[in-house]
Structure 1
Amino acid sequence: MMDMDPQMAAALQTFFEESRDLLQDMESALLFMEEQGADLERINAVFRAAHTIKGSAGLFGLEEVVRFTHRLENLLDQIRSGTKTLSPGNITLLLSCGDHINDYLDRLVSATPLDQHFLSEDLRLLAALQSALGENSSATDPSLTEPSLTVYDDVESRTEFIHEVSSDAPVKSAANWHISLRFGQDTFRDGMDPLSFLRYLQQIGEITGLVTLTDALPALSMMDAETCYLGFEIAFRSVADKASILDVFDFVKDNSIIHVLPAHGQIAAYLKMIQQLPEGDQHLGEILVAVGSLTPEELQKALALQEGSDQTGQHLPLGEILVEQKMVQEPVVQGALEKQQQQRESKNAERQLLRVRAHDLDHLVDLVGELVIASAANRLFAGREDLESRLESSSQVARLVEEIRDGALRLRMIDVAELFQRFPRVVRDTARTLNKDIRLEISGEGTELDKSMAEKISDPLMHLVRNAMDHGIEPAEQRLAAGKPAQGSIILHARHDSGGIVIEVSDDGGGLNREKIRRKALEKGLISADQLLTDPEIYALIFAPGFSTADTISDISGRGVGMDVVRQNIESVRGRIDIDSTPGRGTTMRIHLPLTLSIIDGFLVRLAQDTYVIPAEAVEECLEYPQTVGSVGYMELRDQPLPLLDLSAVFKKAELSETRRNVVVVRHGMERIGVVVSGILGNQQTVIKPLGKLFERVPGVSAATILGNGDVAPILDIPTLIQRHYAISAKSALVH
């Protein structure tokens, strides 16, 4: 990446982040219009996104991005003007162009050189854009030629180049503007080149007249080489609106004097645009900004003038100030006032977001985790001293730490919609590759999960979706023969459940073939011929390394690589995956995930002399262990049998001769058991510490934590313990 001062480097990083957001918005809008049909609002949104990327790239000297995006912008401009249609072919081309721009940004960030593959794709897309535009040669593209500047010696001679545009012409047609520009004296010191702004101005229009102003030049002996004294009066013709022209000078607008005067002949078109605005609670200035007759900066200046207009507090009407300062024509102001009278009186609060670096947020959560441990130690020592004032103070500190913990964890939570937003494009492209008609349905987008969790689960989820499309959804002929619609369906659904997150990937395909899976497993020696397995155990075999039932190998699946990695990645974040499949009707892959990876509410229990932690969301109630139980491994709870799991047997702990034991009833999903422990120690905030390589495969233990006294306590993996207990019970029943 180019060398630059820290301020410009930070601005460039912001450009990369905002450009990726704009490209994602472009993709979402294009995919929506492919399904629901084109609408002018979304077409304009796609055009604005491309225009913003091009403008910002020009300010940083990213000429290749400007060149490519300018071609893309030309096509979008013809589509929104009605000259070209938003055909399926054009949508595919626009999506590919967005991918190419994103690839270019990635290479800039990583300083990766442009290889032959990238350059070939660049030329292919440029040719496709030229073909879509109906061009026969590159000469028709103004971005590939060097416009010339006409320089005039005096201000009077420029007036012949300023013409009126007919009032019948739309606002988006080529219009005349007059730009009065006085650069600030620190322009050179800020690393800016005044001429680069003029060169970029030609990317969005034509400079038909230019006068260089020299009135600010001091005597030669008084000149400072680092001070800018330049000014320009420019006659400009462009399809761009007022705000877009001002955006060209965004990096110098704070220290420069810039005025853009629009053509007066556009009044009729502005009035029409005002009437077409959606209903809402907007002020006069907001309406004028929305249609492009006024810029936000001009509005702020006008409001400041209104604030100081009268010492008695009787402010002049904003409309009068705008007309007096020649910012907006009087008929346009009158039209906006009429529109304001028609709008509803409901106000929508605008949500403001602040970008925070993920590293800083992770560091904050780590510190909060250490604070939780220190708070637990403080509470322990206060209890030993048995001082009422110390106990009250430690309880107050613990409460505040808990609130800080919850607040810090909320900062890391994101809507699952951010995880799901990439899948419409994936389903679209994969369906075309497979020559299948597949519809994607998404629900539960508002469900929140930890950002780090979303990053780790993204690739496994992608593999499950692509696998469902390839193996799950049948070809159209088979679906029609089975009485199904030709179009297949993939459903992505998220929800909260039992203190965790459940993400489901469902398809309405043919379902898993139980006998085919068993046969493949026998061939690979994964099971024996006389082994009795339940349906869930049969389905779980597809997660074995190298396992595949695909008859043919494709670019998408069939090599037996991936499903085992899916399970490993899910289990690495303390999650698990279940399979529910019905032959002929479809399959659901159900991923269970914890809410967070760092801090949880723990329920402490004692087993012999050791302390263990049960996640508090899994605990339902605590009971005294009955002296007699009706059946081995069961007890009666409110006239219902409750399976019992003795942790002493699981972890091979020698039982102490205790007169009283306890049962902690835990639940995961629809299943619950009673965990038999030596004693109950109560609730405590628990900071999750990962296990080392030596202990990460211990059955029934997901992680560990540090207690207030410095001891290490294992955190029990309740889903695994319940699953193993029911599996052992089912096998015993089959043998019996």
Structure 2
Amino acid sequence: MSEETDPLFLIEAQHLTESLEATLLDLKANPTDKSLIDSAFRDLHTLKGSGAMFGQIAMSQFLHDFETAFEAVREGTLKVTPQLIEIALSARDHVLDLLAGGSTEPGALLLGRLAALVSGDREAEAQDPGWIMSFRLAPDTLALGGRPEAILAEFRAMGASNIAPILDDLPPLEKMAPAELHIGWRMDLPGAITEDDIRDVFLFNEEGLDLNLKPAGTAGAEEDADISRGDVSSAMAAPPAEATRTSPPTSERSMMRVPAERLDEMMDRVGELVIAEARLAELAARSRDPQLVAVAEDIERLASGMRETTMSIRMTPIETITGRFRRLVHDLTGTLGKPITLEIEGQDTELDKTVIEKLSDPLMHLIRNAADHGLETAEQRRAMGKPEHGTIRLSARYSGAEVIISLSDDGRGLELEKIRARAEDRGLIGPDTNLDDDDVRALILQPGFSTADAVTELSGRGVGMDVVKRTIEQLRGRIDVDSEPGHGTRIDMRLPLTLAIIDGLLVEIADERYAIPLAAVEHIIELPDDEVGDARTTRFLNIRDQLVPYLRMRDLLASKGVPGPHQKVVVVTAAGLRVGLTVDRIIGSSQTVIKQLSPLHAALKTFSGATVLGNGSVALILDIPQLVSFGQTLDSREAA
């Protein structure tokens, strides 16, 4: 492949594998859906043909038998079974390995499993109880260039299930040597595999190998595999799930894939164009030259259209990252032994692509945390009168200038007394610290905090939730925790629609200009004369028979001077709450290019960024969610 066609093929292959994974997961739940069967066949056929065209012969040959199998499914001579879906998902993972330059050996084992399934030999395999195996490699395996992940990949291709790490010999962190291997693994293997097949996998790792292999059902077999079940993906035991789902085109319109770097560059150029257009408009207004004013208006119209088009290109639906979550829950169900259902709402909700890209890892952690800590086992749920299947729900919805993304579960919920006790043990709070329930729940977001009784590879070290919080705050968002004991936990993440350009309302406070996101503005009213001289920071206005608190921005910003007689109140909303902001003057609306604050000023929660005005001066952008939260807090204190 040439340097030009290679990335194009890889992008196309990524898209097809994402689509195939999503279709296979849907097909597992609806095994007789002909449209899903046809979709899986098309993805396999296209992937095979593209691979042959671009020189990926090994991949093309590997996919040939899978295409034939799904052709048999289309013709009705082969049924869709959970075993077929599992083998096909492993094949999809093997394709990604091949594209990354991985070994072809696991593919031969997968094709053998597929042939056994298609020919009906699966029945004989099911009658054999199979094997329970645990093993540890020599501690110097990594130092000698050994690859445990390659061994695990081979066993996955042979049909291994319930793969989990053995952590009982893991030393304390301060004594751990990075080059030493302290983890073992335990797994179940199908009976069709011989002992010689198993030992062949360890052909180059026999020295120092500790292998325990027993037939399933043998007395003591389970006891010999003493493990701590955990995050198999972290211990190199789960199939790679980096790919995101992108829905296949639903229309015949032509599509073009563009590298993200080009979109970022175009967005930067449009931002500079908006700033230049604002400068031109101000110069034209000062000159009062009709021709220059007309040209400035044309440039403003064109710049506005360019901005809207560019923004629409950058906006990406949540659906582009939910595919990997479905696969994650599918894998966690087997890893944890808990039946879990993932429900997703609002997949068409759009966010800036930068926000979407950075959301993936926090959501992955929250889902793993909900599955491991939040949801009970099937036996526990039955005893509590709950359905055996635990439910994790991911939803997204618009709220003014924000998008609210919620991750909830119907598990055991948070134990506030246990959280507080653990926080005191860790020195995060003192025994006499006065905290309400919301403050106690927020403790789980602190660095190093964990209520887990045992550390697993999945969670328990207290290094996850604070990372989630930090990522959300870096995106100018905020995170809230709500929970009801016995009924589950909900994490709400409130994020701005875009990090690039917004429509802003330019206002003046004490001779300084500030920008307010226009999407958050609900009303603009005159401040009543009897309210002008009041010295309190917050008061209330009766707006359409509702009392709305308002903040005196001059006092909040510690501005000098005395406010004029005709102050305005800009009523803004966030998270369903309203607060008024008093300003001296309304200047007008403008396209606002968001510039991030320097690290020195990033801690100022009142502002979310800055923008350059037409005259070259800088205006700070007010952080509406923070101001609304602050106003509501003052409101509550006054009421108390």
TM-score calculated relative to the size of structure 1: 0.65
Name the stretch that deviates more: 475-484 or 402-411.
475-484
Query: 2:485 corresponds to which residue?
Result: 583
Equivalents in 2 of 1:732, 1:527: separation in Å?
A: 27
| 2:259 is the counterpart of 1:362 | no
Q: Deviations over 1:96-126 (max 9, x none)?
A: 1101211322x25xxxxx4xxx566456535
Q: What does 1:271-420 correspond to in 2, within 5 Å?
A: 350-420=252-322
| In structure 1, distance between residues paired with 2:254 and 2:361 | 30
Q: Which has the higher contact order (CA 8 A, sep 6+)?
A: 2
One-letter amino acid of the structure 2 residue matched with residue 634 of structure 1 = R
User: Against the structure 1 CA distance between its residues 530 and 672, is the aligned structure 2 distance closer, same or farther, given a 3 Å change threshold?
Assistant: farther
Cα deviation 1:484-538 (Å, max 9, x = unaligned): 1111112222222213222221211122222222222222222233333333322
**Which of 611, 615, 631 pairs up with 2:513?**
611
- Structure 1, 383-392 or 573-582: larger mean CA deviation: 383-392
Once residues 356 and 699 of structure 1 are traced to their aligned partners in structure 2, the CA distance between those partners, rounded to angstroms, is: 36
CA distance in 1, matches of 2:97, 2:633: 48
Is the Cα contact below 8 Å between 2:34 and 2:74 reproduced in 1? yes
Q: Give the superposition deviation at 1:55.
A: 2.7
**Partner residue of 1:456?**
358
CA deviation after TM superposition for structure 1 residue 729, in Å: 5.1
Query: Using the alignment, how far apart are the partners of 2:556 and 2:425 within structure 1?
Result: 33
The amino acid that maps onto 2:348 is G
Matched, 1:556 2:541: no
2:58 to 36, 55, 64: 64
Q: Please tell me whether residue 28 in structure 1 is matched to residue 13 in structure 2.
A: no
Deviates more, 1:581-590 or 1:390-399: 390-399
1:135 to 1:11, Cα distance in 2 relative to 1, 3 A:
farther
**Would the alpha carbon gap of residues 513 and 569 (structure 1) be closer, same or farther in structure 2, given more than 3 Å must change?**
same
Q: 1:689 to 1:131 in 2, by over 3 A?
A: same
Is the deviation greater in 369-378 or in 41-50?
Answer: 41-50
Asked if the contact 1:100–1:122 (Cα under 8 Å) also holds between the matched residues in 2, the reply is: yes
2:49 is matched with 55
1:62-87: CA deviations, max 9, x gaps?
A: 23323432343454445445554332
Secondary structure at the counterpart of residue 43 of structure 1: helix
**What's 1:161 paired with?**
none
Alignment of 1:206-225 (within 5 A): none
Distance of 1:10 and 1:77 partners within structure 2: 33
C-alpha contact 2:567 2:582 (8 A) present in aligned 1: yes
Indicate the SS of the match to 1:9. Answer: coil
Is residue 637 of structure 2 the alignment partner of residue 637 of structure 1? Answer: no
- The match for 1:488 among 390, 399, 417 is 390
Instruction: Work out whether residues 506 and 590 of structure 2, in 8 Å CA contact, stay in contact via their aligned partners in 1.
Output: yes
Deviations along 1:282-309, whole A, 9 cap, x unmatched? Answer: xxxxxxxxxxxxxxxxxxxxxxxxxxxx
Cross-structure match for 2:401 = 499
Which of 519, 533, 537 aligns to 2:421? It is 519
Q: CA deviation at 1:355?
A: 2.1
Partner letter of residue 52 of structure 2? G
Amino acid at match of 2:95: I
Counterpart-to-counterpart distance in 2, 1:672 and 1:533: 25
Change (3 A) 1:43 1:642: closer
1:603–1:613: 8 Å Cα contact kept in structure 2?
yes
Q: Which residue of 2 aligns with 1:46?
A: 40
Q: What's 1:152 paired with?
A: none
Q: Is the contact made by 2:412 and 2:485 (CA closer than 8 Å) also made in structure 1?
A: yes
Alignment match, 1:140: none
1:392 CA displacement: 4.5
Aligned partner of 2:472 in structure 1 is: 570
Distance in 2, Cα, partners of 1:725 & 1:550: 36
Deviation at 1:709, TM superposition (A): 0.9
The structure that has the greater radius of gyration is 1
Counterpart for residue 509 of structure 1: 411
Structure 2 contact 541–550 (Cα < 8 Å) conserved:
no
Q: What is the rounded CA distance, in whole Å, between the counterparts of 2:299 and 2:3 in structure 1?
A: 42
Matches within 5 A, 1:155-174: none
Give how far 1:713 is off.
Answer: 1.4
Identify the match of residue 113 of structure 2 among 128, 147, 153: 128
Distance 1:678 1:717 in 2: 18
Task: Please give the residue correspondences for 1:421-432 in structure 2 after superposition, counting only pairs within 5 Å.
Answer: 421-432=323-334
The structure 1 residue matched to 2:12, chosen from 9, 12, 18, is: 18
Bigger drift between 357-366 and 70-79 goes to 70-79
Cα distance in 2 for partners of 1:640, 1:33 equals 51
Contact residue 607 and residue 622 of structure 2 kept, 8 A: yes
Q: Secondary structure at the match of 1:422?
A: helix
Q: Deviations over 1:558-596 (max 9, x none)?
A: 111111111111122222222232222222222222221
Match of 2:92 in 1: 98
Q: Which residue of 2 aligns with 1:711?
A: 617
- Return the offset for 1:427: 1.1
Q: Give the whole-Å Cα distance in 2 for the aligned partners of 1:34 and 1:64.
A: 27
Kindly provide the amino acid, as one letter, of the partner of residue 614 in structure 2: G
AA of the residue aligned to 1:690? Q
CA distance in 2, matches of 1:467, 1:25: 26
Tell me how far 1:439 sits from its aligned partner.
1.1
| Distance (Å, rounded) in 1 between the aligned partners of 2:452 and 2:502 | 41
Structure-1 separation of matches of 2:346 and 2:563: 51
What is the distance in 1 between the residues matched to 2:31 and 2:379? 27
Within 1, Cα distance between the matches of 2:529 and 2:431? 43
Structure 1 gap segments, 5+ residues each: 109-113, 137-347
Partner of 2:159: none
Matches of 1:540 and 1:466 in 2, distance apart? 19
Question: Cα 1:674–1:133, aligned 2, differ >3 Å: closer, same or farther?
Answer: same
Residue among 408, 431, 440 paired with 1:538: 440
Tell me whether 1:697 sits opposite 2:599 in the alignment: no
Contact 2:445–2:469 (8 Å) recurs in 1: yes
Structure 2 CA distance for aligned equivalents of residues 48 and 477 of structure 1: 41
Match of 2:551, as an amino acid?
L
Match of 1:333 in 2: none
Confirm or deny: 8 A CA contact 2:510 2:563 kept in the other structure: no
Question: What RMSD over aligned residues (CA atoms) do the two structures have, in Å?
Answer: 2.6
Change (3 A) 1:608 1:440: same
Contact 2:339–2:388 (8 Å) recurs in 1: yes
Query: 1:469 and 2:371 equivalent?
Result: yes
Corresponding residue for 2:338?
436
1:722 to partner: Cα distance: 2.0
CA contact (8 A) 1:75 1:132 kept: no
Structure 2 stretches of 5 or more lacking a match? 122-249
Instruction: For 2:96, give the aligned amino acid.
Output: N
Instruction: Verify the 8 A CA contact 1:634 1:641 in the aligned structure 2.
Output: no
Measure how far apart 1:615 and its partner are: 0.9
1:168 corresponds to which residue?
none
SS in 1 for 2:4: helix
Q: Given that residues 701 and 715 in structure 1 are in contact (C-alpha distance below 8 angstroms), is that contact kept between their aligned partners in structure 2?
A: yes
Aligned residues: 508
Question: 1:146-205: per-residue Cα shift (whole Å, max 9, x none)?
Answer: xxxxxxxxxxxxxxxxxxxxxxxxxxxxxxxxxxxxxxxxxxxxxxxxxxxxxxxxxxxx
1: CA distance between counterparts of 2:72 and 2:88? 13
Residue in 2 that maps onto 1:673: 579
Shift of 1:135: 10
Deviations 1:119-142 (A, max 9, x none): 664565355345445599xxxxxx
